[in-house]
Amino acid sequence: MYSSPSSDSWLRRQSKRAARSLARRMRDFGQVDPAGFDLADIPSADIALYFPDGPPKLYQLTQWLPVFEGKNDVTTIVIVRQVDAFNALHGKTPLRVILVPRYEDLMALLDRANFGAVVYVNNGWTNFQALSFQRAVHIHVNHGESDKICMVSNQAKAYDKVFVAGQAAIERHEAALAWFDQSHLVRVGRPQLDLEVSPALPPTDRTTITYAPTWEGEDEANNYSSVDVYGVRIIQAMVDHPRSRIVYKPHPRVADSDDPAIRSQHRAIVAAVNQAASDDPSAGHCVLEGADMLAVIPSTDVLIADVSSVSLDFLYLKPGAPLVITDRRTDRSGLLAESPVASVCHVVDADSIDQLSDDLRAVVTSSGDASRRSIRDHYFDGLEPGESTERFWAELDSAIREHDQALQSLSRIRTVRDGTAS
């Protein structure tokens, strides 16, 4: 293994030089002070939580922050690649957040901090820049558990390990990826569902029915949204239900969707909810665009959602509560094949939307049975609240230790000094 000169004096000079250079580039970007990022003063850290995208996708990262914030015996640094994301995170987490726009600086940081693991919450294209760092184990955790096709990407082959919720995710990968080593999949449940959250809604003696649709995805294959096809009629059916409190909680990307139909129907839904609230001020009808969905679930008696992580989170946290799933394609056999949860709940599609008002009356009085509990275990590996977090950290620690052992057999290790590989 070749290594460049590394005397203390040389290293200090080069570190200060790199830090000054980086500071100049940071100023050129025009962002706030990057939390004192100085290559000469980067401590060793256990984990890099990596996020390459901008504010519209920050929800993918922020749902993981409390999981890492709560682990006091592990040092985690958040690495972001875009100025707007860095600014948006300012003051939002006690974890150290470092802005690293340039690849050269990223490599220098990874080398200096000597992370045991780099954890990825999505499949952003600059993930592959961080993947070039040899000495860390690279783990993909994704940002939810859902039956969407986007949850299974060929990019999964690039990571050392892919942490998934349970058996449903295993089968999802088996059905969608050729030449994929299934041993890379590790079942850890969903640690975010172990977190204690304060309810976003005040108590009520009414039945709280929440409509929580997803966004339209990057293309039609990933479009599971009901907003443009059923949204207004769903709200109307919710309003018709006696002594209900209706809540509209859309995906964070619905309001600013690039799809004109989604945007217009979102506005129509908001108007319908506001009108209902005006007609019955005591009901508590509301629109919650900025709230954490996990803070809405505790107060929700009935959930109407699309194929998304929201429906599965509700299934996990409230397996006995009524759940309604939408199907924008009105393809019942396809829905059941791709989303097993649909087999244990009411489905809204083009054939059933007109009778939703009547169906809701039956749905509200229904309760979970053994089949719903079985489906819950299928998705979340039979784990109960608190157990996912324990398994997550155990598996992460195991992956780091096994990778460290594997490194010992390598004869060539890439190191970086002042942005230069050696």
Over residues 67-81, the pLDDT tens digits come to 999 999 999 999 999
pLDDT for 167-210, tens place per residue? 999 999 999 999 999 999 999 999 999 999 999 999 999 999 99
Name the residue with higher pLDDT: 198 or 39.
198
Angle at 418 between CA 415 and CA 420, to 5 degrees: 55
Cα–Cα dist 381/163, whole Å? 12
| Mean pLDDT, residues 15-22 | 50
Residue listed under structure tokens 């490599």: 107
Number of neighbouring beta carbons within 10 Å of residue 350 = 12
Residue 371 pLDDT class (50, 70, 90 cuts): confident
Whether domain 8-189+387-421 has CATH 3.40.50.11720: yes
Class of CATH domain 207-380: alpha beta
pLDDT band at 111 (very low <50, low <70, confident <90, very high): confident
C-beta atoms surrounding 355 within 10 Å: 11
Query: How far is 409 from 407, CA to CA, in rounded Å?
Result: 5
Q: Is the pLDDT of residue 38 over 80?
A: no
Segment 279-299 shows an average pLDDT of: 95
Nearest Cα neighbor of 306 from 160, 181, 189, 144 is: 144
| Helix residue ranges per DSSP H, 98-242 | 103-113, 127-130, 167-176, 227-240
End-to-end CA distance of the chain: 9
Residue 263 clears pLDDT 80, i.e. is over it? yes
Q: What's the pLDDT score for residue 201?
A: 97
Token pair listed for 84: 């707007």
User: Residue 361: is its pLDDT beyond 80?
Assistant: yes
- Mean pLDDT of the region 276-288: 97
Mean pLDDT, rounded, for 143-167: 95
CA distances from 370 to 81, 200, 320, 343, 360 (A): 46, 30, 10, 13, 21
Dump pLDDT digits (tens) for 205-259: 999 999 999 999 988 899 999 999 999 999 999 999 999 999 999 999 999 999 9
pLDDT at 241: 95
Q: How confident is the model at residue 24 (pLDDT cuts 50, 70, 90)?
A: very low
pLDDT at res. 417: 57
Q: Please give the residue that has the higher pLDDT: either 30 or 100.
A: 100
Residue pair 160/138 in contact (Cβ under 8 Å)? The answer is yes
Provide the pLDDT for residue 10: 46
Mean pLDDT of the chain: 89
3-state helix, strand, coil in the chain (%, to 5): 45, 15, 40
Distances (CA, A) of 94 to 36, 69, 115, 155: 14, 7, 19, 31
The position carrying tokens 């005397």 is 7
**Checking phi first, is residue 409 left (phi over 0); if not, alpha (psi -120 to 50) or beta?**
alpha
Average pLDDT rounded to a whole number, residues 52-76: 95
Which is more confident, 17 or 56? 56
Q: What is the DSSP letter of 6?
A: -
CA dist., res. 212 & res. 45, Å (int): 38
Query: Residue 370's pLDDT is what?
Result: 81
At 12 the pLDDT is: 52
Residue extent(s) of CATH 3.40.50.11720 domains in the chain: 8-189+387-421
CB 216 within 8 A of CB 328: no
What is the per-residue pLDDT for 401? 97
The DSSP H or E segment spanning 79 is strand 76-80
Bridge partners, 130 (sequence order): none
- The pLDDT assigned to 311 comes to 97
The greatest distance separating any two alpha carbons of the chain, rounded to the nearest whole angstrom, comes to 78
pTM of the model: 0.86
Residue 144 has pLDDT above 80, yes or no: yes
Backbone φ, ψ for residue 374 (5° rounding): -65, -45
pLDDT at 35: 47
Return residue ranges of the chain for CATH 3.40.50.2000: 207-380
